[in-house]
Each structure stands twice: as C-alpha cells, then as structure tokens.
C-alpha cells in the first residue's frame, strides 16, 4: 500500500499542516511511511508533549488522532483532508519522558460524503498499545 509517492504526499501534507497554527505542536513528528490511505509516524516524547504529571498529554494524543489520520486520508484516492465530525480516544497506557511512540493511521472507509479513520499508538520499544482513536470526517 505504502509507496514512495505516498510518502512524499504524506510528508508534503504534514509540512503544510505545520506551517502555521496549532499543528506546530506536532513539529517533531516524523512521517515514516504513507500511501493508499495509510500513514505511519513516530514521535519522541519531550517536555512540550507532556501533562503536569510528566507523561504524554491526552490532548496531544487526540491532536495526533486528528492530524495523522487526516494525513492518511490525504494519501488515499480521495486526496482530501475532510472536516472533523466525531473523534474518540481510548487511553491505555502512560508514555514517559524520552519514550518513543509509533502511530499507525488507516482509512477504514472513504465513502462519498464521510470517511472513517483510525489511529493506533504503540510504545516503540515495548510494543504496548498506548492509545487508540477513531476520527469521522465529512468530505466536502
């Protein structure tokens, strides 16, 4: 599924996202692969990603669900970003300072007006599931 062109497309989309605004918070996210409606990304957790307790902030997890699944959709045949309708996240395990996460985003279904996307986040070293999220978007 993932291809060189898909990776370029994903990286371009991510770069455009981060040019301005809130997505600057994701500037350290690395897009590893992309294409065919999928996208893999990684991030090392630093202070700027953490909550008061010193672990990965739930709001950042939700932001990753939003943005990384949108990048995945951008690499599908639709090549659109969509407008968020519903987003949900389940938080399974804390991620500490210095730990790395791997994110797998997937376009579960892209219909005429709605697309259903999902993201799994795992600890890169242990493989433990950190969080899962779903993102439903409206395609203009």
Task: For residue 127, give both structure tokens.
Answer: 């493989």
**Residue from 4, 5, 24, 126 binding a copy of itself (CB under 8 A):** 24
Radius of gyration over alpha carbons of the chain, in Å? Answer: 14
The CA distance from 132 to 105, in Å, is 10
- 136 touches a copy of itself by CB under 8 A: yes
Q: Among residues 107, 128, 137, which one has the least CA distance to residue 119? A: 107
- Exposed, middle or buried, 91 (CB in 10 Å: 0-12/13-18/19+)? middle
**Residue from 17, 33, 104, 123 binding a copy of itself (CB under 8 A):** 17
> Given the complex with a copy of itself, which of 4 and 95 has the nearer CB atom?
95
> Given the complex with a copy of itself, which of 17 and 75 has the nearer CB atom?
17
Site string for a copy of itself, 26-65 (x = CB under 8 A): ---------------------xxxxxxxx--xxxx-xxxx
Element (H, E) at 104: strand 100-110
The CB-of-12 to a copy of itself minimum distance in angstroms stands at 12
The CA distance from 28 to 87, in Å, is 23
- 72 touches a copy of itself by CB under 8 A: no
> Given the complex with a copy of itself, which of 33 and 107 has the nearer CB atom?
107
**Residue from 4, 109, 125, 126 binding a copy of itself (CB under 8 A):** 109
The CA distance from 57 to 54, in Å, is 8
- 139 touches a copy of itself by CB under 8 A: no
């Amino acid at each position: 599924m993932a291809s060189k062109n898909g990776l370029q497309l994903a990286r371009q989309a991510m770069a455009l996202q981060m040019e301005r605004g809130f997505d600057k918070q994701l500037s350290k996210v690395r897009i590893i692969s992309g294409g065919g409606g999928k996208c893999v990304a990684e991030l090392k957790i630093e202070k700027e990603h953490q909550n008061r307790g010193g672990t990965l902030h739930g709001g950042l997890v939700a932001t990753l669900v939003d943005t990384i699944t949108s990048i995945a959709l951008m690499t599908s045949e639709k090549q659109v970003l969509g407008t968020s309708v519903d987003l949900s996240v389940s938080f399974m395990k804390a991620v500490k300072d210095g730990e790395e996460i791997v994110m797998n985003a997937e376009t579960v279904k892209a219909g005429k007006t709605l697309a259903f996307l999902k993201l799994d986040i795992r600890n890169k070293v242990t493989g433990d599931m950190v969080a899962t999220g779903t993102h439903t978007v409206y395609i203009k």
